[in-house]
Amino acid sequence: TWMLSILKVIPEVINVREGKYRYALGFCYPLETMAFFLFLVICYIYIQGKKFSVKDWIMINIINLLLYSITASRTSVILTAFISFVAVVYAKVNMEKIMRKLFPWLGYGVLLTCTAVSIVGGMMYDPKNELLSKINTIISNRLRLTNDAFDEYGLTLFGQKIEWVGY
């Protein structure tokens, strides 16, 4: 789709956010381009395994930054950089023994930590707090949106029925 959009065979979707043009490169939305790239990187890292090198990491992150300059997709850029960095460290350092002990707990820890940070961050958000305002800006207003959702719907253990309007 990238090449077809460049050759004008399929229309290019251009999205503008905060005055920055974001190109979708043949996809429906700019974030899709970076999501596909992230998935390709993950597959490549998996296939390379212990052969994943610093050269691979450099090439992936050059492409990553190039695509970021076109799509302005922050989350996928950060994830791609982080995952590729961890892959290089894993390939270069003998972490087999450490990972066998750490991995089962790591998954639970990340899941619980991210859930807690999301809920607590949304509940504590106050636009008057300078630090939280800056974090909110960096993560595309997610704290404010979470706070608004908590204000409107509350927080229940097993969810609730919400009446949707639209689609």
Residue pair 60/13 in contact (Cβ under 8 Å)? The answer is no
- pLDDT at position 25 is 65
**Residues 31, 34: Cα–Cα separation, whole Å:** 5
Residue pair 32/5 in contact (Cβ under 8 Å)? The answer is no
Cα–Cα distances in Å, from 145 out to 17, 34, 119?
17, 23, 12
Question: What are the mean pLDDT values of the chain's consecutive 10-residue runs (167 residues total)?
Answer: 63 67 65 84 90 91 87 83 89 72 74 87 89 85 90 84 77
- pLDDT at position 69 is 79
> Of 36, 27, 86, whose CA–CA distance to 64 is shortest?
36
3-state secondary structure the chain: CHHHHHCCCCCCCEEEECCEEEECCCCCCHHHHHHHHHHHHHHHHHHHHHHCCHHHHHHHHHHHHHHHHHHCCHHHHHHHHHHHHHHHHHHHCCCHHHHHHHHHHHHHHHHHHHHHHHHHHHHHCCCCCHHHHHHHHHCCCHHHHHHHHHHHHCCCCCCCCCCCCCC
- pLDDT at position 42 is 93
- pLDDT at position 59 is 95
